Amino acid sequence: MTAFAHQLFSGLAMGGIYAILALALVMIYQATHLVNFAQGEMAMFSTYIAWDLIDRGMPYWAAFALTIVVSFLGGMAIERLVIRPFANAPVLTIIIVFIGLLLIFNSVAGWQYSYTIKTFDSPFPARSWFGNSFMSSHESGAILVTFAVLALVYAFFRFTPLGLAMRAAAQNPASSRLVGIRVGWMLAIGWGLAAAIGSVAGMMAAPIDYLDPNMMLGILIYAFAGAVLGGIDNPWGAAFGGFAVGVLENIAGAYFVGPEIKLSVALLIIIGVLVARPSGLFGRMLVTRV
């Protein structure tokens, strides 16, 4: 039983990380109806920036904040410079561009920081919290950070004028433009936010999975699975899906399929959900008029 609880809680901690990344995916999906295949690699690159800053002697939380800001600006720049010219291109073209971004980030990280695995320290104290013996302090911390991110995102979209404008721009670009919302910039901010949120996922994952240019690939697949499971157009659904996939993956890895083929669980979830219930658990059913 203890072992099971252990698996459950560490699944929840990883699930939190998947949930954050899934949230980043949903952010871009809602605005453009595209899934950003480079999201994981962008997060990985942000994590390297954080590592670099800490390596230069910056205190952890300052580096954390600065990385989020840099990622936000970087995400906006990518949208403006790389993605914008393809705004009306067919899906295939845009996916090819995403894959291009993925390859570029991966290889630039390898180039800059080498392919050797680096350790990334956790900001949380080594002693586990609240006498919880099932989780390491980093795992509890990661879950707390996940909830903080979710709360902040909720507050941003619910209570700020900018959040309202972004929701409007995603829902009805033409009308939004008529009432004076700059839809193009809302898209850019959406990319910036996604990159910033993704960077948090990267920084939470690095102490667990270590830092190397390919660290986010598996995490991205789980985040995909989470987003698809919860409904890719519903942020809360996607966050729930992330947690669910984390727990499922850990328990399946420990008791059913063995840890070495855990990724196939994500593959099965993705295909199963898409076939049985394409809108996910909490997604809106999309009806297309032909």
Partner 1 sequence: MTPMTIVSREPAALPAKPILGLDARLWRRAAWALLAITALGLPFVASGYHLFQFSQVLIYAIALIGLNLLTGYNGQISLGHGAFFAIGGYTTAILVTKLGVPYWATLPVAGAICFVAGFLFGLPALRLGGLYLALATFALAVATPQLLNYKGFDAWTGGSQGLLLSKPYAPFALPLSPDQWLYFFCLACAALFFWAAANLVRGRIGRAIVAIRDHPIAAETMGVNISFYKAMCFGVSALYAGVAGALAAIVVGFVSPDSFGLFLSLSFLVGIVVGGLASIWGVLFGALFIEFIPNYADQLSDLFGESAKALPGAIYGVLLIGLMYVMPGGVAGALRSAPRLFSRLFSRAKHG
> Number of residues in contact with partner 1, rule: CB under 8 A?
50
| Three-state DSSP class for residue 34 | coil
Least Cβ distance, residue 59 to partner 1 (angstroms): 30
Single out the residue of 55, 65, 107, 125 in contact with partner 1 (rule: CB under 8 A).
Answer: 107
- Residue 85 touching partner 1 (CB under 8 A): yes
Applying CB under 8 A, which part among 54-62, 142-150, 240-248, 264-272 lies near partner 1?
Answer: 264-272
Q: How far is the CB of 48 from partner 1 (least distance, A)?
A: 13
Residue 87 engages partner 1 in binding (rule: CB under 8 A)? no
Rounded to whole angstroms, the Cα distance separating 238 from 27 reads: 10
- The reply to whether 1 sits near partner 1 by the rule CB under 8 A is no
- b/e code 15-53 from CB counts within 10 Å (16+ = b): bbbbbbbbbbbbbbbbbbebbbbbbbbbbbbbbbbbbeb
User: Based on the number of CB atoms within 10 Å of its own CB, is 286 exposed (0-12), middle (13-18) or buried (19 or more)?
Assistant: exposed
199, 43 Cβ separation under 8 angstroms:
yes
According to the binding rule CB under 8 A, does residue 91 interact with partner 1? yes
The distance of closest approach from Cβ of residue 290 to partner 1 in the complex, given in angstroms and rounded to an integer, is: 6
Closest CA to 24 of 209, 181, 242: 242
Contact present, 109 and 45 (Cβ < 8 Å):
yes
- Report the alpha-carbon distance of residue 162 to residue 138 in Å, rounded: 33
Sole window of 67-75, 87-95, 164-172, 197-205 interacting with partner 1 (rule: CB under 8 A): 87-95
Which is closer to partner 1, CB of 178 or CB of 290?
290
Q: Provide the mask over 37-66, with x wherever binding to partner 1 is found by CB under 8 A and - wherever it is not.
A: x-----------------------------
Q: d(Cα 266, Cα 288) in Å, to the nearest integer?
A: 28
By the rule CB under 8 A, 102 interacts with partner 1? yes
Residues that bind partner 1 (CB under 8 A): 33-35, 37, 82, 85-86, 89-93, 95-97, 99-108, 110-111, 114-115, 217-218, 221, 224-225, 228, 258, 260-264, 266-267, 270-271, 274-275, 278, 288, 290
